[in-house]
Amino acid sequence: MGEMEFESEEDYWNQAFETFDANSDGGIDLAELEHLMQICKLNPTREQVEEIMNEFSQDGRMNKQQFMSMMKTKQEEDAWPDPYEDLLTAFALFDSENTGELTLDQMIEIMQYGKDALKPEELQMFEEDFRLCDKDGSGTINIKEFVEFLTRMGKMFFEVEYDTVEVES
């Protein structure tokens, strides 16, 4: 499964929506939109997040169609990079066995390379956060749990290589 393939562009955006719908309630709220924008390194103010939400949603919560419209519009304007594509690429880097799931050992193996290897206290935090994200206790995480893991770990370990993009008000 390493390189995920999608039947259509709509399938791609459906998967992206489900991934960024952190609480799986069928909508993207302000906090989830803000997180998405931070992944894009847009560094929005709360007011900018609200403006974008209001542009695409009348009730402060985007459904799947509104989300897809927003993402397509922002990318056509060349205003945002595609955060889902980069998450899939990062996930595939760790998923060396192409299973669509990551084990703690796979992730630790990657993180132990180079001069920035995990220190013992970082390794402990890394393991704890992995277990918190493994919702079913299977010892593996899927792409949605991977996004939660990255969120928990913050910028300590993962920096997506985007140029910073300024959000226009």
Among 83, 81, 92, 76, which Cα is nearest to 28's? 83
pTM for the predicted model, two decimal places? 0.56
- Give the pLDDT mean for 10-26: 83
* pLDDT at 115 (0 to 100): 63
* pLDDT at 84 (0 to 100): 77
| Distances, alpha carbon 16 to alpha carbons 36, 43, 46, 47, 111, in Å | 10, 20, 22, 24, 25
Residue for token digits 């290897």? 117
Under a CB-based contact definition with an 8 Å cutoff, are residues 40 and 83 in contact?
yes
Give the whole-angstrom CA distance, residue 75 versus residue 36.
14
Give the whole-angstrom CA distance, residue 43 versus residue 86.
17
Q: pLDDT tens across 74-100, in order?
A: 877 776 767 777 778 778 877 878 888
Share of the chain above pLDDT 90, in %: 14
Q: Is the pLDDT of residue 103 over 50?
A: yes
Q: pLDDT tens across 48-82, in order?
A: 889 989 999 989 999 999 998 888 888 777 767 67
* pLDDT at 153 (0 to 100): 66
